[in-house]
């Protein structure tokens, strides 16, 4: 029996306003808006390179208050080739950071961005 390969994963972030969230990911984080679905849009997709995130409208993001209390409640981690270069790029775009680049004892260097709904996205490089 051959092994079944799992090829990708797409985190779904809960947001209050899909077009506003998609605009944030586009303008502040350099993602492309792949699609917005519905009238008004209640589901969408953003991507940059091979990284893809889906956005789903909910009346109240259920992780926002928990994320505000937790030190590192990360809802998606995106591996990057140059974590410091990306940090500089996103800082130039006006992104706000929940954590600046930090060398971690587990071997990676990461930084965190909090979206307008409180979702924390981690960008990491393993050096």
Residues 98, 113: Cα–Cα separation, whole Å: 5
* pLDDT tens digits for range 86-115: 999 999 999 989 999 999 999 999 999 999
Q: Predicted confidence band at 60 (pLDDT cuts at 50, 70, 90)?
A: confident
Residues 79, 49: Cα–Cα separation, whole Å: 11
Q: What is the mean pLDDT of residues 4-29?
A: 93
Q: What is the mean pLDDT of residues 33-62?
A: 93
Residue 84 has what pLDDT?
97
- For the chain, the domains span 12-126
pTM equals 0.88
CATH class (in words) of the domain with range 12-126: alpha beta
Tokens found for residue 118: 């409180």
Q: What is the mean pLDDT of residues 112-125?
A: 92
CB-based contact 67:118 (threshold 8 Å): yes
CB-based contact 55:117 (threshold 8 Å): no
Is residue 127 predicted with pLDDT exceeding 90?
no
Integer CA distances (angstroms), 43 to 23, 46, 87, 95, 99, in order: 13, 11, 28, 23, 28
Q: Predicted confidence band at 11 (pLDDT cuts at 50, 70, 90)?
A: very high
């Amino acid at each position: 029996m051959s092994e079944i390969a799992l090829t990708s994963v797409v985190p779904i972030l809960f947001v209050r306003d899909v077009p506003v969230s998609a605009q944030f990911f586009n303008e502040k984080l350099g993602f492309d808006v792949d699609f917005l679905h519905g009238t008004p849009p209640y589901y969408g997709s953003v991507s940059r390179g091979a990284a893809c995130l889906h956005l789903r409208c909910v009346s109240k993001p259920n992780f926002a208050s928990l994320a505000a209390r937790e030190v590192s409640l990360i809802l998606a981690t995106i591996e990057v080739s140059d974590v410091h270069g990306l940090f500089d790029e996103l800082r130039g775009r006006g992104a706000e950071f929940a954590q600046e680049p930090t060398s971690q004892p587990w071997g990676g260097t990461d930084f965190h961005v909090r979206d307008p709904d409180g979702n924390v996205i981690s960008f990491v490089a393993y050096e």
